[in-house]
Structure 1
Amino acid sequence: MEEATVLTLFRNMMGENNQINKFDDDSLLDWTEIDKGGFGSVYKARHRKMGHDVAIKILHDVNVEESLLKEATFQKVFSCNFVLRVYGMYKGIPPNEKVKQKGMVMEFMTRGSIMDLCKNLRGPPPFSLACRLILEVASGMRFLHSMGILHRDLKMQNVMLSEDLHAKLADFGLCTMSATCCPSDEEETEISGTVKYMPPEAYDINYKPVRSFDVYSFAIFLWAILSGEEPFPTAHPSRLRKCIAKGQRPPLDDLSKTDKAGMSDLLDLMQKCWNGDPTQRPTFEEITPMVENVYSKHKSKIIHEVYEVLKQLDSDSLEELHNPILDEKDKIHEQDSTICEPLQEEQREGDFISESHETKKSPLVVIIDPDTDKEISVYEAYKKGLIDEDLMHEIASTGWDIHCVALYDDL
């Protein structure tokens, strides 16, 4: 689809009351560069009015406004709890720059990407956490595909992590409407992305992206998060294309030796998803319940494993916590919700709700931060010293998720 057509479509969908917000230098304080590359830079800054940190993605190319607007619009219109939230567009002069730049203002994810997590842990995350992350990625992709959206660059680096290690899909720079949503003469034909995650059919000059493209990428992502490393780390791109076209895939020998319940199911799913015949790959509608079934076998361990990972990542800051006090406003209640509630429900009623993810009663722990008078998660309350470790583990023993509030309420 032509980029102008995509933008016109999205602007119509968003309506007058939901336009992309505009931010300038007066809106953002305390800039810190957190990533830099040939594409541009990513900064963290404090939003003056919202009172919390945001991420600003700046691209070096001066002709990127339409591309950034397209990416921002995708993420704003098609958003759920597993898609990174976009606040708007930035135009100004960042620190150490001499001319005006254009960028995108997004939700700041404190834990970086899943790739960062694997590097920090020097290996894969604990199995129950890995399963939860895989389920959240599959759920996010299912939502996007249900809306007719292809991601086209799904990989560990593009899955960001919240404070409590929940996953959100990011980097929609290559995102397109799927062929089923576009007239045949407007289908996207340009193929780009990360070679290691691209299916063999994508190397055909006449290939047009379809949903099975993302399914193949998901298979490589699945291998990467379970092994804790990038596939084909030393392969040259041109040689890798030939090997993938001939059927070569990342090795399964080490993963197959794991005796974790459900690992064989994930390996079987992985091989179905990277099948050389794209018509034989499952859809995310089929993938999600398969992954959820595996996660259900390990969900009872998630609180402990997440806590241990966070303790490892934050060992210094956790040791400083003392004299926790439970706020008198703390309360426990039940709330109806779905696992992936769209932020703009009125635009997406009826989309992306499977039988396993239908509205259901779920026990939630709600804690009020006395500083902001806003709801925060159990772990955030522990980290701020509002509850002690014993109470945190008591909550864990009930089976509640360590970040159940944020899972249902996009705080």
Structure 2
Amino acid sequence: MSEALLQLSRASQLHPVCFNLPDLQMIGRPVARGGFADIWKGLVRGQTVCVKAMILFQRSDRRTVEQNIGHEAIIWRQLSHPNLLPFFGLYYQDERLCLVSPWMSSGNIREFLNSAPPYTDRVSLMLDIALGLEYLHRNGVVHGDLKGLNVLITPSRRACLADFGLSSISDAMTVQFADSDDENTSVGGTARYMAPELFSEPTRHFGSDVYAFACTCYEILTGKAPFYEIHHDMGVAMKVVRGERPSRPDTILPDDNLWLLIQDCWAQNSANRPSLTQVIQRLLSPAIGARETQSSTDWDDTFSAKFRRSLRDFPLLPSVTEIKQKLFCDGMCSAGWQSIPNISPLVENPTQMVQTTILDNIEKESINRLNIPRVSFT
């Protein structure tokens, strides 16, 4: 079903209307700027939300970015995991399309650890990240821009991933952006977390996510980005391509086995990097001893849908009249609808509209009468 929705969105260049959120109020000024978006705090009927407003320096960017955001929003909506940030919907602010998600008051993992007590279990936070990343990979999704700034802390002090898949939006921009700190954005990713192969062939994959995971673990241990001592991305890129990696933080690293895992994850050859399933097994092993967070659930599979439904009532199925209007022009509706084979029983029982044979009849008749191009879902 999700693949059909994705292909339909691509063909129509539209996104589901149920994603659009009404009555959203932006609060104050942007609280942060990322590589391709301003981050605002917002309110939706008393609920505090995070609003990521896309930056468009050229008007020609708008259509391309909207198409990419609609595509990524459909993917995001289909995913639900304790270590993934939920998706609430879309909103337009002065013609800028915004992605809306829950507001995480504890901020990103770097901010959280800067003020966290020294006994904070950093290794279990790494496990949280690995669990979320493994879920993405299991569902065929590459994160593409994993780093500390894109790992948020939930109310139960669990790490969750944000901005997964959105690197394609950055790729679509006609202007390259730079972050406000020492991490510059390049090729839809962040150079200090990019695997060596991405500097020559910028197609992100599961293995490049594993490399970025190792870099993020280094950041969790040290509080600093990889190669923090080098000011320019070009210098970082040259070191990474030559096979150099950040040096071991001996005064902070709790265990030799953890450092060995990090080294394996940022191996020069992507084929030598472990899968996320293997990473999780090693983190949970007695040698490292990471513990999965056993606190109350921050959200469940119905969290996002319940939020959107609380804003307005969505009918489970469109009415017969609405489907008529979508398929036929006004002059053909009355005669055209009644003459479609096997349609008349639907007027008395509209819930049967989801049956495959009926949908086939509607599609065939509409294609014949209106010369509508057929959309292939294979």
TM-score > 0.5, shorter chain as reference: yes
Q: 1:82 to 1:215 in 2, by over 3 A?
A: same
1:218-233 aligned at under 5 Å gives the runs: 218-233=213-228
What residue number does 1:334 align with?
none
- Structure 1 residue runs of 5 or longer lacking an equivalent are 13-17, 94-99, 177-189, 300-338, 340-399
Q: Secondary structure at the match of 1:54?
A: strand
Deviations 1:205-249 (A, max 9, x none): x45332111011111111110122212124211121111111111
Matched-pair contact (CA < 8 Å) for 2:258–2:288: no
Deviations 1:105-140 (A, max 9, x none): 11111111012123335xxx6465212211110001
Q: What is the RMSD computed on CA atoms of the aligned residues?
A: 3.2
What residue number does 1:79 align with?
80
What residue number does 2:39 align with?
42
Deviations 1:49-89 (A, max 9, x none): xx321111111215121232233223211231111111111
1:291-310 aligned at under 5 Å gives the runs: 291-293=283-285, 297=289, 299=291
Q: Bigger relative contact order, structure 1 or 2, given CA contacts below 8 A and separation 6+? A: 2
What residue number does 1:53 align with?
48
Q: 1:273 to 1:251 in 2, by over 3 A?
A: same
Matched-pair contact (CA < 8 Å) for 1:118–1:229: no
Which AA in structure 2 matches 1:85?
P
Which AA in structure 2 matches 1:269?
L
Deviations 1:236-291 (A, max 9, x none): 11121111111111110425x75x4xx22211100101111111110001111211
Tell whether 2:202 aligns with 1:174: no
- Counterpart selection for 2:154 from 155, 162, 167: 162
Report how far residue 40 of structure 1 moved.
3.4
Which AA in structure 2 matches 1:23?
L
Q: 1:43 to 1:10 in 2, by over 3 A?
A: farther
Q: Equivalents in 2 of 1:129, 1:152: separation in Å?
A: 26
Deviations 1:303-335 (A, max 9, x none): xxxxxxxxxxxxxxxxxxxxxxxxxxxxxxxxx
Matched-pair contact (CA < 8 Å) for 2:81–2:301: no
Q: 1:407 to 1:68 in 2, by over 3 A?
A: closer
Which AA in structure 2 matches 1:406?
D
Q: Equivalents in 2 of 1:119, 1:23: separation in Å?
A: 34
Matched-pair contact (CA < 8 Å) for 1:89–1:104: yes
Matched-pair contact (CA < 8 Å) for 1:75–1:83: no
Report how far residue 169 of structure 1 moved.
0.5
Which AA in structure 1 matches 2:122?
A
Q: Secondary structure at the match of 1:44?
A: strand
Q: 1:88 to 1:156 in 2, by over 3 A?
A: same
Q: Equivalents in 2 of 1:191, 1:33: separation in Å?
A: 25
- Counterpart selection for 1:9 from 7, 20, 42: 7
Q: 1:10 to 1:165 in 2, by over 3 A?
A: farther
Q: 1:33 to 1:210 in 2, by over 3 A?
A: closer
Q: 1:248 to 1:101 in 2, by over 3 A?
A: same
What residue number does 1:23 align with?
21
Matched-pair contact (CA < 8 Å) for 2:24–2:42: no
Greater C-alpha Rg: 2
What residue number does 1:91 align with?
92
Q: Secondary structure at the match of 1:86?
A: coil
Report how far residue 10 of structure 1 moved.
7.8
- Counterpart selection for 2:245 from 241, 246, 249: 249
What residue number does 2:192 align with?
196
Identity of aligned residues (%): 26
What residue number does 1:109 align with?
104
Deviations 1:372-398 (A, max 9, x none): xxxxxxxxxxxxxxxxxxxxxxxxxxx
- Counterpart selection for 1:131 from 111, 123, 126: 123
What residue number does 2:298 align with?
406
Q: Equivalents in 2 of 1:103, 1:408: separation in Å?
A: 23
TM-score norm. by structure 2 comes to 0.64
Which AA in structure 2 matches 1:68?
I
Report how far residue 30 of structure 1 moved.
4.5
Q: 1:37 to 1:210 in 2, by over 3 A?
A: closer
Matched-pair contact (CA < 8 Å) for 2:26–2:41: no
Matched-pair contact (CA < 8 Å) for 1:10–1:77: no
Q: Secondary structure at the match of 1:132?
A: helix
Q: Equivalents in 1 of 2:28, 2:71: separation in Å?
A: 25
Q: Equivalents in 2 of 1:232, 1:154: separation in Å?
A: 16
Matched-pair contact (CA < 8 Å) for 1:84–1:168: yes
Deviations 1:320-372 (A, max 9, x none): xxxxxxxxxxxxxxxxxxx8xxxxxxxxxxxxxxxxxxxxxxxxxxxxxxxxx
- Structure 2 residue runs of 5 or longer lacking an equivalent are 11-15, 170-185, 304-378
Matched-pair contact (CA < 8 Å) for 1:155–1:221: yes
Q: How many residues align?
A: 274
Q: 1:243 to 1:44 in 2, by over 3 A?
A: same
Tell whether 2:138 aligns with 1:142: no
Which AA in structure 2 matches 1:146?
R
Q: 1:133 to 1:216 in 2, by over 3 A?
A: same
Q: 1:221 to 1:59 in 2, by over 3 A?
A: same
